[in-house]
Structure 1
Amino acid sequence: MHSKKLAYRPDIDGLRALAVLAVTLFHFNKQWLPGGFVGVDAFFVISGFLITGIIYGNGPSFSFADFYGRRVRRILPAAIFVTAITLITGSLLMMPADVKDLSGSSIAAALSAANIYFWLFLDTSYFAPSSETVPLLHMWSLGVEEQFYLVWPALMIIAMKLGGKRLLAASAVIIAIASFAVSEYYVTREPSFAYYMLPSRAGELLIGALLFLWQDSRRVSTAVANVASFVGLALIAVSLVMLDEKGGFPGIRSIIPSVGAALLILGGSNQAGLLPKILANPIARKIGFRSFSLYLWHWPVLAFYRYAYGEPTLAGGITCALLMWGLTELTYRLIETPFRSHSPRWLITKATPIFATSLAVIAVSYVLVQNKGLWSTASGKVYLAQLNQHDFNTKAASKFPFNCQMFKNDPELWTQDRCLIGDKSTPAETLLWGDSNAAHYVGYLKVVAENSHFALRNISHSSCPPVRELKGLVPSAQQQSCQEFNNKAFAESKNYRTVIIGAAWDNYAKANGQAQFEKTIAELASNGNQVLIALNVPVFEELDRMCSAKAIRFPGMDCVSKAIFASTSDSKTNAFLVELADRYPNVSTFGVRDQVCKSGVCSAYKDGALLYYDRGHLSMIGSELIGREVIKTGTLPQPIAALASKAQQLGRNSTQ
Structure 2
Amino acid sequence: MHTRVGSADSHLIGYRADVDGLRAIAVISVIAFHLSRSWLPGGYLGVDIFFVLSGYLITLILWREALKGQFSILRFYERRIRRIMPALLLLLFSTTMAAIVLLLPADLIGYGKSMLATLGFVANVYFWRDTDYFSRAAEAKPLLHVWSLGVEEQFYIIFPLLIAAFARFWPRATFPAIALLTLVSLAANCLALKIGGASPAFFLLPTRAWELGAGAMIALLPASLIPRGTVARLLGAIGAIAVLIGIVSPLPTYGSVPVALPVVIGAMFLIAAGQVVQPPVNRLVATPPLAFVGLISYSLYLWHWPFIVFSQYYLVRDLNLGEMMIAVAGMTACAIVSWRYVERPFRSRAMPARTVCLAAGVGAGVLAMIASALIWSNGLPGRMGGEAAAINAAVGTNYRCPVPNYLRMGQSRACVLNLASRNPSDANVVLLGNSHAQMYAPVWESIFVERGLPGLLVPANGCLPTVSVNISRECIDVAVANLIELGKLSNVKTVILGLTWAHAENGLVDANGKTVDNGDDAELVRGLDDLIGRLLGFGKKVVLIGPIAYPGWDLPSELSRDLAFGWPLEKPTYLSAEEFQQQYGAAIQHFEARRDIGFARPDTVLCDASRCDYVLDGRSIFADASHIAQAELFRFRSIFTEALATQR
TM-score > 0.5, shorter chain as reference: yes
State the TM bucket, normalised to the shorter chain: 0.5 to 0.7
After superposition, residues 485-634 of structure 1 pair within 5 angstroms as 542=553, 544=555, 546-547=557-558, 549-551=560-562, 554=565, 558-561=567-570, 617=613
Change (3 A) 1:327 1:49: same
Aligned to 2:82: 73
2:191 maps to amino acid = Y
In the superposition, the TM-score normalised over structure 2's length comes to 0.61
Alignment equivalent of 1:238, drawn from 231, 241, 245: 245
Change (3 A) 1:547 1:231: closer
- 2:187 is aligned with 1:181: yes
Whether contact under 8 Å (2:391, 2:556) holds in the other structure is: no
In structure 1, the residue corresponding to 2:69 is in which secondary structure?
A: helix
Q: Give, in angstroms, the shift of residue 243 of structure 1.
A: 2.1
Distance 2:57 2:363 in 1: 28
Change (3 A) 1:216 1:342: farther
Q: Give, in angstroms, the shift of residue 233 of structure 1.
A: 0.6
- 2:120 is aligned with 1:111: yes
Distance 2:611 2:309 in 1: 23
Distance 1:163 1:63 in 2: 18
1:74 maps to amino acid = R
Whether contact under 8 Å (1:542, 1:615) holds in the other structure is: no
In structure 2, the residue corresponding to 1:270 is in which secondary structure?
A: coil
Aligned to 1:282: 288
Alignment equivalent of 1:370, drawn from 364, 367, 376: 376
- % identical aligned pairs: 30
Aligned to 1:320: 327
Distance 2:391 2:48 in 1: 44
Distance 2:329 2:143 in 1: 20
Distance 1:275 1:334 in 2: 32
Q: Which stretch shifts more, 311-320 or 278-287? A: 311-320
Distance 1:388 1:30 in 2: 30
- 2:271 is aligned with 1:265: yes
- 2:358 is aligned with 1:352: yes
Change (3 A) 1:118 1:264: same
Q: Which stretch shifts more, 218-227 or 286-295? A: 218-227
| Gapped regions of structure 1 (runs ≥ 5) | 375-379, 393-475, 480-507, 513-537, 565-569, 578-611, 623-656
Alignment equivalent of 2:350, drawn from 328, 343, 348: 343
Aligned to 1:210: 217
1:294 maps to amino acid = L
Change (3 A) 1:148 1:573: closer
In structure 2, the residue corresponding to 1:17 is in which secondary structure?
A: helix
Q: Deviations over 1:135-175 (max 9, x none)?
A: 111111111111111111100111222211x2111210111
Change (3 A) 1:88 1:217: farther
Whether contact under 8 Å (2:71, 2:164) holds in the other structure is: no
Distance 1:259 1:41 in 2: 10
Whether contact under 8 Å (1:539, 1:615) holds in the other structure is: no
Aligned to 2:157: 150
Q: Give, in angstroms, the shift of residue 335 of structure 1.
A: 1.6
Q: Give, in angstroms, the shift of residue 319 of structure 1.
A: 2.5
Change (3 A) 1:359 1:553: farther
- 2:298 is aligned with 1:292: yes
Q: Deviations over 1:401-425 (max 9, x none)?
A: xxxxxxxxxxxxxxxxxxxxxxxxx
- 2:12 is aligned with 1:5: yes
2:121 maps to amino acid = S
Q: Give, in angstroms, the shift of residue 615 of structure 1.
A: 9.6
Whether contact under 8 Å (1:297, 1:324) holds in the other structure is: yes
Q: Give, in angstroms, the shift of residue 241 of structure 1.
A: 3.2
1:549 maps to amino acid = S
Alignment equivalent of 1:171, drawn from 155, 169, 177: 177
Change (3 A) 1:168 1:552: same
2:384 maps to amino acid = Y
Change (3 A) 1:70 1:563: same
Distance 1:15 1:391 in 2: 41
Change (3 A) 1:236 1:279: same
Q: Give, in angstroms, the shift of residue 305 of structure 1.
A: 2.7
| Gapped regions of structure 2 (runs ≥ 5) | 1-9, 394-494, 499-518, 524-548, 586-607, 619-648
Whether contact under 8 Å (2:140, 2:309) holds in the other structure is: yes
Q: Give, in angstroms, the shift of residue 259 of structure 1.
A: 1.3
In structure 2, the residue corresponding to 1:269 is in which secondary structure?
A: coil
Alignment equivalent of 1:60, drawn from 69, 73, 79: 69
1:103 maps to amino acid = G
Q: Give, in angstroms, the shift of residue 270 of structure 1.
A: 3.5
Change (3 A) 1:357 1:159: same
Aligned to 2:382: 381
Aligned to 2:427: none
1:88 maps to amino acid = M
- 2:106 is aligned with 1:97: yes
Q: Give, in angstroms, the shift of residue 4 of structure 1.
A: 9.4
Q: Give, in angstroms, the shift of residue 18 of structure 1.
A: 0.6
Whether contact under 8 Å (1:136, 1:300) holds in the other structure is: yes
After superposition, residues 349-428 of structure 1 pair within 5 angstroms as 350-374=356-380, 381=382, 383=384, 385=386, 387=388
